[in-house]
Amino acid sequence: MTIFLYFLIYFLLPQISRTHQYLPIDRIPDWKLKNDGNIGPSYGQPEQIRISYGGDPSISFVTWQTFDDTLQSIVEYGSDWKSLNQSILGRCSVFLDRNKNSVWRYIHRANLTGLVPGQTYYYHVGSEHGWSPIYFFTALKERENDGGGYIYAVYGDLGVENGRSLGTIQKMAQRGELDLVLHVGDFAYNMDESNGETGDEFLRQIEPISAYIPYMAAVGNHEYFNNFTHFVNRFTMPNSDHNLFYSYDLGPAHFVVFSTEFYFNLQWGYHQMKNQFEWLKEDLKKANENRKSVPWIITMGHRPMYCSDFDGDDCTKYESIIRTGLPLTHGYGLEKLFYEYGVDIELWAHEHSYERLWPVYNRTVYNGTHLPYTNPPTPVHIITGSAGCRENTDVFVEHPPPWSAVRSTDYGFGIMRIYNSTHLNFKQINVAQGGTEDDDFWVVKTSDKHHRPFKHRDLKKLRTYGTHVPEKYCHHHSHCPVERKKKRSRRQYNHF
């Protein structure tokens, strides 16, 4: 099967989410047809190396790109950088994004299995037509010497231009101060621009991170082009062949990654939203059945349910679509679903700022106790979308609604550490102020019985110690219709 035939299949088939459509192993590239040893691929040098968690500490996915078919996709690795004595042969797929002048990109993937947790491996990728530098990674294992658990960098909205947090994250990844990255949507700004060259440059820029630690990704609104085709084809996430929604366990946490963009890009059909919602219910059900072994449930989605930014985004609305579902029908709303299945932490981005919320459900804010994050009766929402991009940071409304606990408009990113089944810590690092901390708080579950679906007694606790925020709630006199009317009347009176 020639590459030309693959090209015809790609463009003649109906447009669906295509990924991992591997080229046949016995293919004959054009340069090979000439049967001349002096002729080979024109662009065989591998680049944009990234690893991702394979769903088990003994498995890592390695992904890279070339601009020509190298016929072989090889990872050589070992415990000594001078002796890469193990190798695995991967597969290659062609990515054409349907831009006007689509560039032929060859995406290579290999699965490393049988890794020993805690062991450091050195590796490089490529073929006889070009090899990457030698990198290293440590197969995931809970930390032992400094408190245990795993450490995650958490952020969204990182671009090629003005990526203010990039250098700090690169350094931390290479020093072993991070175990994984959780990128909560919006990459490059945008990966499809300049015929995909912006996406290429972004993946080169994060390579000093992604070649060393797993880079886990959620889709955002800036990946909308051609039904998220760059996101679908460039990344390799576990338990999914499209990367748009998936889940995995790591240590005491079950991570649920999903697309908020299905709710806003209905031109691709309602079926994506419906399929995801049904998958979410089934996945959360299974996660609760396994909660004794994996107690924490953490979600990752790009657009938040609540926020206090000074813009017209969905999270500023009384009935945000992500929170309550589609207009009128309230179909596929996520707040009630996540509450009923006892989600502990909800990670968001999209707003180019940092905001930590008090525990909140159905616009009722749990902030009337001394320890609101100890056994909270609702999920805890964290928005961290200020890693840095060409659109700069957002500003907040002057007087936030009661759910807002901590806010920052400076550039930065989050550090989440899950120590064990009872203690989770989150910090927001302010890179604009030299690495100071904008926030540092703990979510504590005093026993395993508090990792469970929220129930009637949680609602009672919420209503007893919480504050309900109705549609016309007046949290500051400047927001009150009566006060504004009085001010207008006084101005009119003084005018006469």
pLDDT at residue number 1: 43
CA–CA separation, 152 and 81 (whole Å): 26
Q: Which of 87, 110, 141 is the last residue of a domain?
A: 141
348-363 pLDDT, tens digit per residue, is 999 999 999 999 999 9
CA–CA separation, 357 and 381 (whole Å): 6
125-137 pLDDT, tens digit per residue, is 999 999 999 999 9
Q: Give the DSSP H/E element, type plus range, for residue 489.
A: helix 481-495
User: Considering the domain boundaries, does residue 480 fall inside one?
Assistant: no
230 and 280 co-located in one domain: yes
Closest by CA to 95, choosing from 167, 195, 164, 184, is 195
Q: Which of 122, 141, 160 is the last residue of a domain?
A: 141
CATH code at 62? 2.60.40.380
Residue 381 scores a pLDDT above 90: yes
User: Considering the domain boundaries, does residue 479 fall inside one?
Assistant: no
130 and 275 co-located in one domain: no
pTM: 0.93
User: Phi and psi for 255 in degrees, rounded to 5?
Assistant: -100, 130
Handedness of CA 300, 303, 307, 309 (dihedral sign): positive
89 and 183 co-located in one domain: no
User: Considering the domain boundaries, does residue 284 fall inside one?
Assistant: yes
CATH code at 208? 3.60.21.10
CA–CA separation, 181 and 414 (whole Å): 10
208 and 238 co-located in one domain: yes
Residue 140 vs residue 146, higher pLDDT:
140
131 and 158 co-located in one domain: no
338 and 364 co-located in one domain: yes
79 and 192 co-located in one domain: no
Handedness of CA 385, 388, 391, 397 (dihedral sign): positive
264 and 289 co-located in one domain: yes
User: Considering the domain boundaries, does residue 490 fall inside one?
Assistant: no
383-422 pLDDT, tens digit per residue, is 999 999 999 999 999 999 999 999 999 999 999 999 999 9
User: Considering the domain boundaries, does residue 375 fall inside one?
Assistant: yes
User: Considering the domain boundaries, does residue 228 fall inside one?
Assistant: yes
203 and 260 co-located in one domain: yes
349 and 295 co-located in one domain: yes
Enclosing domain of residue 76: 24-32+42-141
Residue 13 scores a pLDDT above 50: no
**202-207: long-range contacts (C-beta < 8 A, 24 or more apart)?**
202/159, 202/160, 203/47, 203/48, 203/50, 203/65, 203/234, 204/47, 204/48, 205/160, 205/163, 205/166, 206/50, 206/158, 206/166, 207/47, 207/48, 207/49, 207/50
User: Considering the domain boundaries, does residue 5 fall inside one?
Assistant: no
124 and 159 co-located in one domain: no
210-263 pLDDT, tens digit per residue, is 999 999 999 999 999 999 999 999 999 999 999 999 999 999 999 999 999 999
48-97 pLDDT, tens digit per residue, is 999 999 999 999 999 999 999 999 999 999 999 999 999 999 999 999 99
CA–CA separation, 437 and 431 (whole Å): 9
CA–CA separation, 22 and 9 (whole Å): 13
- Number of domains present in the structure of the chain: 2
Q: Which of 112, 141, 170 is the last residue of a domain?
A: 141
Q: Hey, what are 171's tokens?
A: 């350094």
200 and 80 co-located in one domain: no
Q: Hey, what are 257's tokens?
A: 């990654």
User: Considering the domain boundaries, does residue 483 fall inside one?
Assistant: no
Of 68-77, 195-204, 326-335, the least confident: 326-335
CB-count exposure of residue 82 (10 Å: 0-12, 13-18, 19+): exposed
Regarding beta strands 150-155 and 135-138, do their DSSP bridges make them parallel or antiparallel, or are they unpaired?
unpaired
* 8 A C-beta contact, residue 12 and residue 21: no
What does the DSSP assignment read for 145-198?
SSS-SEEEEEE--EESTT-TTHHHHHHHHHTT--SEEEEES-EETTTTTTTTHH
